[in-house]
Amino acid sequence: MTADQIAALFTRADGTFLCARWGRPVAPVIFGLADDSLDIFRGAIRAGFAHARHPLADTDPDMGANLMLFFVRDWSDLRDIPDLDRLTDAPDLPARLARADADQYRMFRFDADGGIRACLGFLRMSGPLADSHPAQLAEALFMRCALTFARDITPSADIAGVIRAAYDPVLPVAATDPAHALRLAARLGGA
């Protein structure tokens, strides 16, 4: 991938650039899946962060779990989550997602250095995602939670390479300057 292609992955519609990775070990928890599917998603998260050379943990000292994934049949099911408004800082999130006819939604929280502190992912499994192959959905979900991609991404070797490059410990955990894409591209051999 070229630096311009990489920069586009992290440039939002308003023109701002943000490429942030996890700055702390990831402590995942998954809600709403059957045991057989749960193993697939756990395995994808473990393999993905191992590829990125980033540690997982059983718990985060500040939050308990810091990667929380919620699988629901319908957005109204989110109303059963205690303190959802406090957890997300997004009042009436289920109604907003239903109005947008969204299939998935994720939000990040950040540490003072800009690194990802937490990620909350919500997936509505009654729509188009219902026909998704669990392993493919798990891989895509990991990739979308590993970095602050500004647009929807499709899993590929190129995206996996960008993730691994972004987790190079020499690089900052977060960058707001699009020139950061040059550093990532150099690590991919695509500068």
Contact 103, 124 (CB under 8 A): yes
Q: What CA–CA distance (Å, rounded) separates 185 from 189?
A: 6
Residues paired with residue 31 on neighbouring β-strands, in sequence order: 70
What are the phi and psi torsion angles at 15 (to 5°)?
90, -5
Burial of 113 (0-12, 13-18, 19+ CB in 10 A): exposed
Mean pLDDT of the chain: 94
Residue 190 predicted with pLDDT over 80: no
pLDDT digits (tens, 9 = 90+) for 164-187: 999 999 999 999 999 999 999 999
Contact predicate 115/22, CB 8 Å? yes
- For β-strands 19-20 and 174-175, DSSP reports them as antiparallel
In angstroms, rounded to a whole number, what is the distance separating the alpha carbons of residues 42 and 45?
5
pTM: 0.92
Given a cut of 80, whether residue 5 has pLDDT beyond it is yes
Cβ atoms within 10 Å of 52's Cβ, excluding its own? 22
CA 104 to CA 93: how far, in whole Å? Answer: 12
pLDDT band at 191 (very low <50, low <70, confident <90, very high): very low
Residue whose tokens read 């502190």: 117
CATH number of 22-139: 3.30.379
Q: Is the pLDDT of residue 45 over 70?
A: yes
Summarised one tens digit per residue, pLDDT across range 106-123 is 999 999 999 999 999 999
Q: Where along the chain do its domains lie? A: 1-20+147-191, 22-139
126-152: per-residue pLDDT in tens?
878 888 888 999 999 999 999 999 998
